[in-house]
Amino acid sequence: RVALESPARLTLGAFALTILLFTGLLSLPFATTTGHRAPFIDALFTSTSAVCVTGLVTVDTGTFWSPWGLAIIGLAIKVGGLGIMTLASLAGLAVSRRLGLTQRILAAGESRASGLGDLASLLRTVIIVSTSVELLIAAFLIPRFLTLDYGLAKSFGYSLFYGVSAFNNAGFTPDPVGLYPYAGDAWILVPIGLGVFIGGLGYPVYLNLIRQWRNPRRWSLHTKLTLVTVTVLAFISAAFLAVFEWTNPDTLGDHSSGKTIGNIFFQSINQRSGGFASFDIGLAREQTWLLEDVLMFVGGGSGSTAGGIRVTTLAVLVLAAWAEARGRRDIEAFGKRIGTEVLRVAVSITLMGLFVVIVTTGIFMWQTDIALDRALYEVVSAYATCGLSTGITGSLDSDAKMTLIITMYLGRVGSLTLASALMLNRQRRVIRYPSERPIIG
Amino acid sequence: RVALESPARLTLGAFALTILLFTGLLSLPFATTTGHRAPFIDALFTSTSAVCVTGLVTVDTGTFWSPWGLAIIGLAIKVGGLGIMTLASLAGLAVSRRLGLTQRILAAGESRASGLGDLASLLRTVIIVSTSVELLIAAFLIPRFLTLDYGLAKSFGYSLFYGVSAFNNAGFTPDPVGLYPYAGDAWILVPIGLGVFIGGLGYPVYLNLIRQWRNPRRWSLHTKLTLVTVTVLAFISAAFLAVFEWTNPDTLGDHSSGKTIGNIFFQSINQRSGGFASFDIGLAREQTWLLEDVLMFVGGGSGSTAGGIRVTTLAVLVLAAWAEARGRRDIEAFGKRIGTEVLRVAVSITLMGLFVVIVTTGIFMWQTDIALDRALYEVVSAYATCGLSTGITGSLDSDAKMTLIITMYLGRVGSLTLASALMLNRQRRVIRYPSERPIIG
Ligand SMILES: [K+]
Ligand SMILES: [K+]
């Protein structure tokens, strides 16, 4: 009930507390490999990045943090991810319950779940789905790491860490140099890539798919929009990546065709929000950075741990432009009408995102004297909680790190709060006609 | 009637023909100071830039072109500007006539003008207003140039050129190094700045102000939105410019405070679409470029020669977000409701603009290997027909020049066509309730 009544304060406070808690844990001496306390700003940065499942790092995760430190980071990702999924889904549920009023009057057969029942079942589904996928990814990875002679403890630890990091779209890697050494290793990239893809769809899609797996026609508009948009974006970005990077010897140019295509798709899935990279983004062409700026800004699915303005927000904007171009009175998709109030939410979220990104980029450039290309990439990555970087994060001073910390918090918690607040902010609604809305933001 | 029925084809064709005509004229040997034919790509670039009132130049206007060449450019600006204002206003009129149906039923007292009468009066107003303001600017400038010992012919020629260039937001300067030498010269900067400001408001605003000069309360929503938005943007951009450039010795840092403030406001008026600069943009801080990218993209008023997505488009997007934040059912401003179909037009135009700018920037970077900061600035300047540059235009190869030519044409003619098409594309409208719409795009 509290969560439904003041989601904004709850979200803002809970995340701030969680971040501080994990900052404290990461400040313990045994969290680092050297046994010395981590600098406060780096502990805070890592904790924020983990809880917000962003993946930007100021210190190399695999070499700076001890196994204890890695466990703390993994736990922070798990806790942050659960919180994000639950709160984002709560807002979505609350909206669909309120909007559902009219639909229930029309279609009286629907069962009415109580608020608490919904919350409990939501939490249960979120925990079951996320933990299952995480364990599944780990189960696939363990034998591979064993065959690479990583030893039993490290194989299990790494696999679990990758499972949690992948499903929650966190992008943290326990390996010192990230995934570059596995660029040709489908056994590792495929489970991680699938985990990122599934994790980026979001709870409302899982719930719908679990209930209606066999009846694609009865999938909700939200599910269809999410699936179509992520698929279209994956192929568009793969095509552009192929154009830009196929001949770049510093990234994919020296691979075989098959390996290049595999890495292109891995990257095209990860660049929206996953944050894993199988090649060095810092050596990619500038056009690739620009492409990824756009894709990171769009982000993943609503109610998922992926960030950005969310794919359904983009879909609604494009559908509105499409309806306008065709002279249609209503915004339509898959035989459903999308209310104009949804377009307004989409516009609000997009404007807010553009505003924060542009202002923060200006501040960041002022603080660091870094040029627009890398600065924009870094800020979009922080705001959209993507976690990819052109390689500048580690060498920033404390002020610039603090800017990114605030951007990560704003991008994650601010967006969550804004979306919830906007979607719940519908007191004076007048019943007009049945309409179905995808969840925005 | 033709203009009302197929504005798209008329606009696209007329502009292409006009551009080719002036390309031909600029290719005549006596158009250049050397007496040799200008290279085709530079003649085409200059003609496109003049007809689209953009202001980007690949050759230095003041030294490359002879007085004849300058006269041709001035004429191209005048013809292009008239065409733009007339066509943009036609679409606006057509919409207000169609939308006006409901309002007329409710408020039967309004006089009904025939379509042809509207067109004639529109053309008359456009020509009278533009020529008057242009002559007025010239009248202020002539004595100043005379006191600077420019001689009679040059003083008259320069003043007329600046008058036309300023009112049409073209940004072309007959002076070899532009306005830099006049950075402290209020007698020159004030008339030009005012001309740019008035020119950027647009015909619908003039018409409204001429008719209702004494009754601000009866000004249309469009007029109020335009005036408020340009004023707010002027002050916001002035504030940011002050922060970024006050201490920059390469731009305004060495001026006195008064001179700096004057130049800041001159720049803040010109950076949306005027295209005149009293200091070297190429030496400004990167944050200034980013700020100007945003302001150029927003552009000027609908039905004016200023470009961009137009200030009313931005206003509608922001008002929609504001309405959403307050939980209001309707988008409201100045006691009027703005229909959601207007929001859809605004979203369409903004998305189209973002799409063209991002894709073109990618292509431009691919062609030139110029980094994102300068490339984005150049492309936004071309698309939004602003004409400011960080100084790279002259050194581009023919391919990159052609990309900018197409971008200028798309930004000017494409946007005009898109906006007209969208606004006229309302066949299946059902009369619902009285509503007032600002003109978008
Ligand atoms: K991430
Ligand atoms: K211009």
Q: What is the pLDDT of residues A66-84, one digit of tens each?
A: 999 999 999 999 999 988 8
Is A321 within 8 Å of B430 when comparing Cβ atoms? no
| pLDDT tens digits, B323-358 | 877 777 778 888 778 877 788 888 888 998 999 999
Question: Are residues A327 and B371, on separate chains, in Cβ contact within 8 Å?
Answer: no
SS3 B332: strand
Q: What is the mean pLDDT of residues B408-423?
A: 77
CA distance A31 to B55: 59
pLDDT at site B252: 80
Rank A38-47, B182-191, B272-281 by mean pLDDT and report only the highest: A38-47
Higher pLDDT, B328 or A404: A404
Give the residue ranges of DSSP H helices in B304-440: 311-325, 340-368, 372-383, 398-409, 415-424
Helices (H) and strands (E) in chain B, counts: 17, 2
Q: Which of A287, A348, A365 sits opposite B286 (nearest CB)?
A: A365
Q: How far does the CA of residue B329 sit from the closest CA of chain A (Å)?
A: 7
Which residues of chain B make contact with A426, given a CB cutoff of 8 A?
Answer: 327
Inform me whether the pLDDT recorded for B78 exceeds 90.
yes
Please give all residues whose CB falls under 5 A of ion ligand 1, grouped by chain where several chains appear.
Answer: A 55, 169, 171, 275, 387
Question: B184 C-alpha to center of ligand 2: Å?
Answer: 22
Non-local CB neighbours of B189 within 8 Å, separated by 6+ positions? B179, B182, B183, B262, B263, B266, B278
Mean pLDDT computed over B89-104: 52
Of B178, B413, B161, B231, the closest CA to residue B305 belongs to B413
Helix (H) or strand (E) holding A338: strand A336-338
Q: Which structure tokens are listed for A241? A: 């990546």
B335 forms bridges with which residues in the sheet?
none
| CB within 8 Å: B422 and A352 | no
Q: Is the pLDDT of residue A9 over 50?
A: yes
Give me the pLDDT at residue A436, please.
42
- Rounded CA-CA distance A203/A302 in Å is 8
B344 closest CB neighbour out of A323, A348, A429? A323
Q: What is the pLDDT of residues A121-168, one digit of tens each?
A: 778 888 888 899 999 998 998 888 888 888 888 889 899 999 999 999
Residue B359 sits at the chain A interface (C-beta within 8 Å): no
Number of Cβ within 10 Å of residue B425's Cβ equals 14
Mean per-residue pLDDT for A295-324? 88
**Residue B332 β-bridge partners:** B337
- Bigger pLDDT: B273 vs B317: B317
DSSP helix/strand/coil, B204: helix
Can you tell me which residue has the tokens 């002879």? B66
Inter-chain CB proximity A327 and B428 less than 8 Å: yes
Q: Give contacts of B 239-298 with A, CB under 8 A.
A: 286-287, 289-291, 294
Query: pLDDT confidence of B321, banded at 50, 70, 90?
Result: confident
Cα B195 to middle of ligand 2, angstroms: 12
Residue B103: pLDDT over 50: no
Span from the CA of A245 to the centroid of ligand 1 (angstroms):
22
Instruction: Look at A176-185, A238-247, A354-363, B348-357 and tell me which has the smallest mean pLDDT.
Output: A176-185
Is B147 an 8 Å CB contact of chain A?
Answer: no
Tell me the pLDDT band of B272, cut-offs 50, 70 and 90. confident
Domain residues of chain B, as ranges? 2-424
B48-75 average pLDDT score: 91
CA quadruple A405, A406, A411, A415: dihedral sign: positive
Buried (b) or exposed (e) across B164-199, using 16+ Cβ within 10 A? bbbbbbbbbbbbeebbeebbeeeebbebbbbbbbbb
Q: Cβ neighbours of residue A437 under 8 Å, at least 6 residues apart?
A: A95, A96, A99, A221, A222, A338, A339, A341, A342
**A118 — pLDDT class (breaks 50, 70, 90):** low
CA distance A283 to chain B (A): 14
Q: Does B344 touch chain A (CB under 8 A)?
A: yes
Round the average pLDDT of chain B to a whole number and report it. 82
Rounded CA separation A63/A66 (Å): 8
What pLDDT, on a 0 to 100 scale, did the predictor assign at position A261?
85
Return the residue of B nearest to A294 by Cα: B358
pLDDT of B105 reads 36
Bridge pairing between strands A331-333 and A336-338: antiparallel
The per-residue pLDDT for A406 is: 93
Q: For residue B124, what pLDDT band results from cuts at 50, 70 and 90?
A: confident
Enumerate the residues of chain B whose CB falls inside 8 A of the CB of residue A362. 287, 290-291
Q: What is the pLDDT of residues A17-27, one digit of tens each?
A: 999 999 999 99
- CB-based contact, B348 to chain A, within 8 Å: yes
Residue A361 touches chain B, beta carbons under 8 Å:
yes
DSSP string, B131-173: HHHHHHHHHHHHHHHHHTT--HHHHHHHHHHHHHHHHTT----
- Rounded to an integer, the average pLDDT of B215-219 is 81
CA distance A95 to chain B (A): 14
Q: Are the Cβ atoms of A324 and B347 closer than 8 angstroms?
A: yes
Res B422: pLDDT: 67
Ligand nearest to the CA of B274: 2
Q: Are A158 and A175 in contact (CB under 8 A)?
A: yes
- Tell whether B27 lies on the interface with A, counting CB pairs under 8 A: no
Which of A318, A320, A366 is opposite residue B287, by nearest beta carbon?
A366
Instruction: Give the tens place of pLDDT for each residue, A336-384.
Output: 788 777 888 888 889 989 999 999 999 999 999 899 999 999 999 999 9
The token duo for A439 is 């969840």
Q: Is the CB of residue A330 less than 8 Å away from at least one CB of chain B?
A: no
Q: Is the dihedral of CA B123, B126, B128, B131 positive or negative?
A: negative
Question: So what's the pLDDT on residue B120?
Answer: 74
- The SS3 assignment for B331 reads strand
Task: Report the b/e string of A193-223 with b at 16+ CB within 10 A.
Answer: bbbbbbbbbbbbbbbbbeeeeeeeeebbbbb
- Inter-chain touch B321–A347, beta carbons under 8 Å: yes
Mean pLDDT of B237-254: 85
Token pair for residue B265?
Answer: 């406001």
- Supply the pLDDT for residue A187: 85
> What's residue A298's pLDDT?
92
Chain centroid to CA A264: 19
CA B48 centroid distance within chain: 14
* Lookup: tokens for A207: 């719930």
Mean pLDDT of chain A: 82
Among A291, A294, A362, beta carbon nearest to B287: A362
CA-based nearest distance A373→chain B, Å: 5
Q: Which of B288, B363, B372, B432 to mutate to test the interface with A (most CBs of A within 10 A)?
A: B372
Please state which of the ranges A387-401, B88-102, B208-222, B390-404 shows the lowest mean pLDDT: B88-102
For residue B232, the distance in angstroms to the closest alpha carbon of chain A comes to: 16
pLDDT of B59 over the 80 cut: yes
Q: Whole-angstrom Cα distance, residue B309 to residue B351?
A: 10
Q: What is the pLDDT of residue A7?
A: 58
Q: State mean pLDDT over A230-244.
A: 90
Cα distance between residue A171 and residue B131, in whole Å: 61
The reported pLDDT for the residue numbered B429 is: 46
The per-residue pLDDT for B420 is 66
> How high is the pLDDT of residue A433?
34
B287 to A318: CB separation less than 8 angstroms, yes or no: no
B432 in contact with chain A, both atoms CB, cutoff 8 A? no
Q: What pLDDT does residue A65 have? A: 92
Q: How confident is the model at residue B419 (pLDDT cuts 50, 70, 90)?
A: low
Which residues are bridge partners to B65 per DSSP? Answer: B32
Using the Cβ of A352 and the Cβ atoms of chain B, whether some distance falls under 8 Å is answered with yes
State the Cα–Cα distance between residues A49 and A393, nearest whole angstrom: 12
